[in-house]
A and B are shown apart, each in its own frame.
Chain A
Amino acid sequence: MRRAWKPWGALAWLSGILFVLPVLWMVLTSFHTESDAATNPPSLFAGLSLQGYEEFFGASTGQSPWPPLINSVSASVGSTVLVLLLAIPAAYALSIRPVKKTSDVLFFFLTTKMLPVVAGLLPIYLIAQYSGLLDNISFLVVLYTSMNLPIAVWLMRSFLAEIPKEMLEAAALDGAGLVTTLRRVVAPVAVPGIAATALICFIFSWNELLFARVLTGVVAGTAPVFLTGFVTSQGLFLAKMCAAATIVSLPVLVAGFAAQDKLVQGLSLGAVK
């Protein structure tokens, strides 16, 4: 039986390709020489070169890209772990065992995202300065945790709400306590949701630039800040910039692929309900 041609399928393919094209262009440009990368119209078929990658690893500056990459991993992983530790119990309390005024609590979480980030920049800078936490990666961990927590609570809540009440009742009938219920009943069902939430938090904190640029300096600079350092107003930088961007996006890509199975389950599991 032949499947009918579906316009939606073609549209999905088209938008997929549109999204991927700039990324492909970035990867291709990263393998060009600076002068080929700068031509207009772009020289797609120019010879390939590793010059951009050599520059990323400090060929002409001697500056190692590892400290900022390690900083980014610390900030993203650290904040994601903290977010999950706080968001899962909170979501449990809001969905499986709803506390009083659940919707007020949820709305309160949401309101914290309503203030434009930039409006909080100056107070946060001053707090960091007076508490001696400027240029300290721990401060970014705390900051990213608080930025991602509301989203994580909302996401986890909708994932946990998917768990059938009957399962919990059955567990209670069998004499399972809270810890056992969480471990043996809730966790296995919620793993896809946790994976999706973790990935989103990881991506958000990995890509964060505004706070990282303002609050870090010599020691705690993250990868996105390092990345912007390749932009210069005198001279060519497109190839090394693309090489740097390609490398910096790799961890997110790897994390995405690693969590792919869980993610597809998780994302289709009702977050959009």
Chain B
Amino acid sequence: MTSFTRLSATLAVLLGATACAGAGGIGDPDDPESINVLMVNNPQMLDIQKLTAEHFTRRTGVKVNYTVLPENDVRDKISQDFTSQAGQYDVATLSNYEVPIYAKNGWLEPLDGYLAADPGFDQQDVLEPIWQSLTAADGKVYAQPFYGESSFLMYRKDIFAAKGITLPERPTWRQVAEAAAKVDGAQPGMKGICLRGQPGWGQLMAPLTTVVNTFGGTWFTKDWQAKVDAPEFVEATRFYVDLVREHGEAGAPQAGFSECLNNMTQGKVAMWYDATSAAGLLEAADSPVRGKLGFAQAPVVKTRSSGWLYTWAFAVQKASKKHQAAWKFLSWAAGKDYERVVGEAKGWSSIPDGKRASTYARPEYLKETGSFAEQTRIAISSANPRDPGVQPRPANGIQFVGIPEFTNLGTQVSQEVSAAIAGRGSVEDALRAAQRLADKVAAKYRKG
């Protein structure tokens, strides 16, 4: 009998412990002075986790519980929580792709009222393309940028000098392709250029769409006709695929941002066309290529500029019950003072930059990032999501089309193009298949 009693006592304790772990514990979601923040796992987000307790909670009394997930997972989780307005998270990181779509669906809290009441935040200081990309069709601002980026060309100055090649500040794609051919093999194992080939609307499709834009192509015309098999789109894609097949990185069909970053850091490529935010990582104190890099604007053909525009921004969920505390957090995280906090704690090259004009006037920041700061600012300032190509567009966006269907469409098409990069199938076949997919999406909008 005793052993049975003992057994049931043990079980009761175990189950009790389980129940306690569920009810109490780490961060009580109903505590008015704590907010839940869901964010993507990028290096800048690691810093803010570390700095929040000392620099935000101590001053405001608002405790912040962070959930950090990789990019794809965080998008799933955010759409789960926001579409059902479950309100688990008060604040989440959204990109300028999602913000207008989410705002239109009524899932986000408009921020204009909070901005008016918080002049210290200095909204005028935020770079115009960035805040415009976080403004919905109703003219209200729905998110505040944490950091922003455009795309540009990074290249090895030392290799280019040794080969006697110079690149203008605004090169054309033809010049870049010629340079890639010349520097290919400049060192043992070094290829000419790194371009993303990994499938994904946010991977391969992002740089490729900027190339399409500047070649004169577009996904859709103003009246929703799909143009994916149009000559300009085909020419741009063939150019991209040929360039990466002839002079691109090893393993290109699997290479995304991280792989290209590795290739560039390890001297396996001489050029890289990608996000401006990569420059800070390449010029980091422990980087083997620090000081060897030159930077030029995104290569062009028919347009004046072709860099993309991307920002991770903090938005407040409409269903949250803690809008005031959430705004306090946004105002701090996207504010000027947070950049100073990071600069002093972590070094000025790791601040969340690319969003405020004042950042590019800070002497401490420019001292660390002088080689790429001005090129970054120019790239972001000349990005125009409303008119990124040679023809009017039905939806905003440079490296994406600002409609909910684009994530699926872009990813499916990128799989076809990635296969072409791998040598399976031709660009023409890939884009013919893509045109059918794009036309289905367009048909929906044509009906209105």
* A residues lining the B interface (CB < 8 Å): 35, 38-40, 60-63, 67, 70-71, 74-75, 77-78, 81-82, 85, 125-126, 129, 134-139, 141, 183, 213-214, 217-221, 225, 228-236
Contact = CB atoms under 8 A, between A and B. Distances in A.
Given A232-B41, A233-B256, A137 B18 contact: yes
A234 B260 CA distance: 10
Given A67-B26, A218-B26, 12 more contacts: A60-B50, A62-B50, A81-B11, A137-B18, A138-B22, A213-B73, A217-B36, A221-B67, A232-B42, A233-B70, A235-B42, A235-B43
10 contacts: A61-B50, A63-B68, A71-B21, A126-B84, A129-B86, A213-B73, A213-B77, A217-B89, A220-B21, A235-B43
A82 B86 CA distance: 29
Contacts of B69: 225, 228-229
A136 B41 contact: no
Nearest to B200: A233
A71 B66 CA distance: 16
B80 A60 contact: no
Contact of B26 (A134, A183, A219): A219
Interface string B32-55: 000010101111001101100100
Nearest to A85: B11
Given A35-B286, A125-B80, A137-B22, A217 B73 contact: no
Given A77-B18, A234-B42, A228 B86 contact: no
Interface in B1-44: 3-4, 11, 14-15, 17-19, 21-23, 25-29, 36, 38, 40-43
Contacts, number: 133
B399 interface: no
B254 to A, nearest CB: 11
Contacts of B70: 228-229, 231-233
A217 B67 contact: yes
A235 B286 contact: no
The interface centre, meaning the residue of A129, A231, A234 with most chain B CB atoms within 10 A of its CB, is A234
A38 B266 CA distance: 10
Interface in B212-233: none
Contacts of A231: 41, 70, 73
Nearest to A70: B21
Contacts of A70: 21
B68 A62 contact: no
B29 A234 contact: no
B324 interface: no
Nearest to B21: A74
Nearest to B47: A60
B27 A219 contact: yes
A74 B41 contact: no
B172 interface: no
A177 to B, nearest CB: 13
B17 A74 contact: yes
A237 to B, nearest CB: 8
A198 B43 CA distance: 40
Contacts of B369: none
B125 interface: no
B77 A234 contact: no
Nearest to A129: B86
Nearest to A229: B68
Nearest to B149: A234
A234 B43 contact: yes
Pick the most buried of B3, B41, B278: most chain A CB atoms within 10 A of its CB.
B41
Nearest to B49: A61
A134 B258 contact: no
Contacts of A183: 3-4
Contacts of A67: 25-26
Nearest to A80: B14
Which are the 5 A-B pairs with shortest beta-carbon distances? A78-B18, A231-B70, A137-B22, A138-B22, A61-B49
Contacts of A233: 40-42, 70-71, 256-258
Contacts of A229: 41, 67-70
Given A74-B17, A136-B22, A218 B27 contact: yes
Contact of B18 (A74, A125, A134): A74
Contacts of A129: 84, 86
